[in-house]
Structure 1
Amino acid sequence: MWIIVLFDLPTDTPEARLEYTQFRKGLLKDSFIMMQYSVYMRHCNSDENAMVHANRVRASLPADGEVRIIKITDQQFGRIEVYYGKKRRPTENAPSQLAFF
């Protein structure tokens, strides 16, 4: 399961820039990685785990702006088409899962 956070936050005042920075740093602290500008993603082992991280994002929402949270399966994520210019590149792989014995 992947959780993707897309956001469009104002940066027109010093206070708004601070909220933007705090929101972005919160995503990074919660192990999200930047997929594109203002688009961050994180792999989760289950839907329940994805809900935990979505709740963390909801708890840190800034006062203004727009934030969207999308959850997709590994299979759906693998069907994303990624292009750099006109050249297609492979989609990122899910991190390998740890096995405990």
Structure 2
Amino acid sequence: MTTAKLTFTDVALTVNVPSGTRIIEISEKIGSGITYGCREGECGTCMTHVIEGAEFLSEASALETRVLKENLAGRHDRLACQCQVLGGAVKVRPG
């Protein structure tokens, strides 16, 4: 199984995660400050800023793209409940 390194800068912690893991799953386990509401990609509460490694993340779905646009997200923002880490090293912080 492929693994990736996921760093949460708000708690200064890096963890190894299996490929395909959603950012919100690990955030909950380690106590990062990424908050969430629906976990379905509808509310935009879990917006997360990707500092490094955006190329190692899953493509944004049409739903995620719409919600990010509605919430005036920046170019490097993603929804932690929708975004999967696929490999490499990714660094994020609550958005």
TM-score, normalization: structure 1? 0.30
In our comparison, the structure showing a higher alpha carbon Rg is 1
